[in-house]
């Protein structure tokens, strides 16, 4: 199954502000990083989390042998988002 960094949220009590990253320096040791634009509108990502404006949030993730590491960053392009995460 393909990894979804913006899963649908249960927003019965209002949308959460952003999403939780598990940022560590492990990103520097990963060979491949992936990035996906938030894909939503009106300040929300496609899963329902609120980010505000501008709608330039990207999820960047990579996999180790047993874990997925993910960070949410603001960037104008996919490559800019990946480069930002490499500096963590």
DSSP SS3 for 3: coil
The separation between CA 19 and the C-alpha centre of its own chain, rounded to angstroms, equals 8
Count of CA atoms in the C-beta half-sphere (13 A) of 45: 24
**pLDDT tens digits for the chain (88 residues)?**
588 888 888 776 667 777 888 776 677 777 889 999 998 888 999 998 999 999 999 999 988 777 888 999 999 999 999 999 887 7
Joined together, the tokens standing for residue 75 give 């960037």
Model-level pTM?
A: 0.84
Q: Are the CB atoms for 87 and 66 separated by under 8 Å?
A: no
How many degrees, rounded to 5, is the angle at CA 24 between CA 53 and CA 29? 115
């Amino acid at each position: 199954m393909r990894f979804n960094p913006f899963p649908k949220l249960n927003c019965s009590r209002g949308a959460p502000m952003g999403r939780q990253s598990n940022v560590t320096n492990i990103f520097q040791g990963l060979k491949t990083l992936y990035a996906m634009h938030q894909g939503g509108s009106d300040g929300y990502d496609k899963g329902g989390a609120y980010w505000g404006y501008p709608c330039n949030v990207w999820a960047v993730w990579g996999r180790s042998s047993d874990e997925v590491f993910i960070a949410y960053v603001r960037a104008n392009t996919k490559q800019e988002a990946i480069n930002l995460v490499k500096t963590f």
